[in-house]
Amino acid sequence: MFSFVLGAQESVMEFSMEEAEAYALQHNRTLQNVREDLRIAEESFKEARGQGLPQLSGTFDYMTNFNYEFEFAIGGGEPSEPPQIDYSLLEPGDFEVLNFIDQMFGSSEGSTIVMRDQANAVFQVSQLIFSGQYWVGMEIARIGKLLTEKNISLTELDVKEQVRNTYQVILVTEELKKIIIENANNLEKVMEHTRNMYEAGIAEQTDVDQIRINLSQLENSRRAMERNIRLSYNMLRFLMGIESEKNIALSDNLMDITDQITNEQIFMNGNNIKENPTYQIMETQEVISEKNVQMKKWSFAPTIAGFYSYREKILTTDFDLSPKNAAGFTLSLPIYSGGTKSAALTKAKIELDKTRRSKEMLEEQLSLQERQLNFELTSAWENYLTQKENVEVANRLYNSIDNKYRQGLVSSLDLTQANSNYLQAENNYMTSILELLQAKLKLEKLYNNL
């Protein structure tokens, strides 16, 4: 992993490019939020699954009737014979009802029922037995979780591309800064030599002024480079999820990265754009659209659910014949819904057609992008080779003119022009390296090879 460089006052976190990518994948805040979406998808899947598992519920109710009395009278005559009862089938709580029956059949005068307060504790179990929409919904929830995982992979790919690109920009800018500083040091020596020649009456004041202006321009360029480097470091810290006050350093060398790339097979063959994460996400969305059509079709099918309940009578009236145990099932059969289900099915089919059409369009766009990026990589490679040779020629030319200037064979204008050409060649060379790295990076991202 990354290393700490201890200084006199503070520590510096040093990263290679691979270490910076790995650190960003763990601490990037955008990526952390996307990973939270996976947790949400997992809980949504559990929520959908739970609808088909047994549902347990308990209730407690209390009701007062203010001791309302109900007169229950039977016609005159001799007391009637009570019904024959199998006492082995009775529960302990049923004997109050037996007492009432004995009074009712054993008396010709009637009875009074007192509606006392009632309190019940009910425990109920319900279970979905059959629902086509439930099972398809479960599949959609599972695929939705898979879609979230692919979104995480896409975000990880974006973060890795941004970190690598920013890392490379910093290396290129720092290399340009070194070139400017080295060139400025050389020009200072030339200006000192020119000043001595001017004092000896060999050179003119304009020669000294011309070199001094070039030095001032180089100083302005160096300051601009430093500002760009600070901005790039701030961006890299943000991408890696590091506090802005932390000091970081880059351990990789630009030339090592460039040599590694140019020594490899620069052009990528045998890759498939269907490995592109955006395309894979679109394929998953197509599957979800297909499942959504199936779910809308199942909305026309019946749903079966079963239940069992137990009622504990804590307080009851003098006359309560409600059972303590009950069980049954419910068959729900849609007959007519005003056309809403048919409309929902039609909408789902239209959405499926749109998704398939979008997938075809995306495949064509990715194919065009593949050809364009291969073209850019080829151009960047050719330009890199040209600029690499050009900077060698410009350097030899500058050294030649510098020797002639010291011998008084050319003017200071020739020297400053050669110096400007050399700096421009170095700048073009560094730019060609960055363009080559970025072109290869874009193609690797297209093929999901980062």
User: Quick check: 76 pLDDT over 50?
Assistant: no
User: Quick check: 268 pLDDT over 80?
Assistant: no
Task: Identify which has the larger pLDDT, 103 or 66.
Answer: 66
Do 84 and 122 share a domain, yes or no?
yes
Do 64 and 212 share a domain, yes or no?
no
> Within a domain: residue 318?
yes
> Within a domain: residue 3?
no
- The pLDDT of residue 341: 86
User: Quick check: 102 pLDDT over 70?
Assistant: no
> What does the pLDDT look like over 421-449, one tens digit per residue?
998 999 999 999 999 999 999 998 998 88
> Within a domain: residue 340?
no
> Comparing 30-39, 62-71, 135-144, 274-283, which segment has the lowest mean pLDDT?
62-71
Do 119 and 176 share a domain, yes or no?
no
- The pLDDT of residue 86: 58
> Within a domain: residue 10?
no
- The pLDDT of residue 118: 85
User: Left if phi > 0, otherwise alpha if psi is -120 to 50, otherwise beta: which for 287?
Assistant: alpha
Q: Averaged over 58-71, what is the pLDDT? A: 82
Task: Identify which has the larger pLDDT, 47 or 73.
Answer: 47
Do 46 and 194 share a domain, yes or no?
yes
Q: Averaged over 191-209, what is the pLDDT? A: 83
Average pLDDT, the chain: 84
User: Quick check: 174 pLDDT over 90?
Assistant: yes
> What does the pLDDT look like over 286-322, one tens digit per residue?
999 999 999 888 888 888 888 899 888 888 876 677 8
> Could you tell me the pLDDT band of residue 33, with boundaries at 50, 70 and 90?
very high
Highest mean pLDDT among 32-46, 116-130, 205-219, 352-366: 352-366
> Within a domain: residue 2?
no
Do 126 and 136 share a domain, yes or no?
no
| DSSP-derived 3-state class of residue 247 | strand
Q: Averaged over 123-152, what is the pLDDT? A: 88
> Within a domain: residue 237?
yes
Q: What whole-number percentage of the chain has pLDDT above 90?
A: 38
Do 295 and 241 share a domain, yes or no?
yes
Q: Averaged over 166-184, what is the pLDDT? A: 92
> Within a domain: residue 338?
no
Q: CATH no. for residue 228?
A: 1.20.1600.10
Q: Averaged over 13-40, what is the pLDDT? A: 92
Q: What whole-number percentage of the chain has pLDDT above 70?
A: 86
Give the count of domains, the chain.
2
> Could you tell me the pLDDT band of residue 396, with boundaries at 50, 70 and 90?
very high
Do 248 and 324 share a domain, yes or no?
no
Residue type, 160: K
> Comparing 45-49, 88-92, 378-382, 402-406, which segment has the lowest mean pLDDT?
88-92
Do 179 and 295 share a domain, yes or no?
yes
- The pLDDT of residue 194: 82
- Rounded to two decimals, the pTM is 0.77
Do 308 and 380 share a domain, yes or no?
no
> What does the pLDDT look like over 352-376, one tens digit per residue?
999 999 999 999 999 999 999 999 9
> Within a domain: residue 1?
no
Do 152 and 95 share a domain, yes or no?
no
Do 34 and 96 share a domain, yes or no?
no
Q: Containing domain of residue 70, as a range?
A: 56-130+301-332
User: Quick check: 223 pLDDT over 70?
Assistant: yes
- The pLDDT of residue 10: 62
Task: Identify which has the larger pLDDT, 248 or 269.
Answer: 248
Do 367 and 312 share a domain, yes or no?
no
